[in-house]
Amino acid sequence: MATKTWFITGTSSGFGRQLTQLLLERGDRVAATLRKPEAIKDLADQYGAQLWVRALDVTDTAQVREVVAAAFTDLGRIDAIVSNAGYGLFGAAEELSDEQISRQIDTNLVGSIQLARAVIPHLRAHGGGRIVQLSSMGGQIAFPGASLYHATKWGIEGFFESVIPEIAAFGIEVTLVEPGGARTQFAGTSLAVAPPSDAYTEGVVGQMRQFMTLAGVTAWPGDPIKIAQAIIDSTDQTPAPKRLLLGSDAYANVHAALTERLAAVESQQELAFSSDADDVIAARA
């Protein structure tokens, strides 16, 4: 199997770190970006020139463009871009601060959009490539207490639904990865939490907050190594899967949500058709 070159954001922990390790172990080259490069010093020491490391905060658009350009200049062709940087934010909508809202959107949504915009011209010039965008089952469903997180994930899914046909002619394919709950630190050190207010203590937000606080890592079904390997394997599939559901909870929750949504759509068919202009209705008769 020919070696590949990868560009990955958010490689300090979670899926980003796991992907980087697996790829280096199999002999691929990785351009690893993260806010604090010292977090992967052990990998840099072990793999040397096989690992290209740069500091990157995806909320800094100028830095995103600069680091992407440097990676393509230094490494030549990059086969796959993994847009992984992001984090969770928990709290009722009114509990969240303005700063928390801006930071969540700037990191998870705008950062992912700007990374895609930065890499597309390079991939187009090289005749194609693969973009892997870490979304979530939370890009198809929603839980109380995670409104801004879901807004970013639903947002990036909508962005790529539009972009995928725009770039298909250039040989650039995209996969939206939708994991369920996994045994990473997403719900631990990687989770930002708004200060609780008494108004939500007894409701669904309070119940979710209690669960998030008390649940250990084994409360989640997803295995990070298996998920990372599935992501890697997906880049060998042609055509690229548009979405990659990973985890039994992801499948069950998304399947239930889409089934319910489709039933709601179908129940409104008569009303939808009746609201057309009269000449359209007459032509259909």
Which residues are designated catalytic? 135, 149, 153
Cα–Cα dist 263/187, whole Å: 32
Cα–Cα dist 97/176, whole Å: 29
Residue 143 three-state SS: coil
| DSSP line for 53-96 | EEE--TT-HHHHHHHHHHHHHHH----EEEE----EEES-TTTS
Cα–Cα dist 166/163, whole Å: 5
Residues with Cβ within 8 Å of residue 141, at least 6 apart in sequence: 150, 253, 254, 257
Cα–Cα dist 141/112, whole Å: 20
Torsion sign, CA atoms 177, 180, 182, 184: positive
Cα–Cα dist 243/160, whole Å: 11
Supply the DSSP symbol for 26: T
> Is the separation of the CB atoms in 72 and 121 below 8 Å?
no
List 130's β-bridge partners, or say none.
80, 173
Residue 168 three-state SS: helix
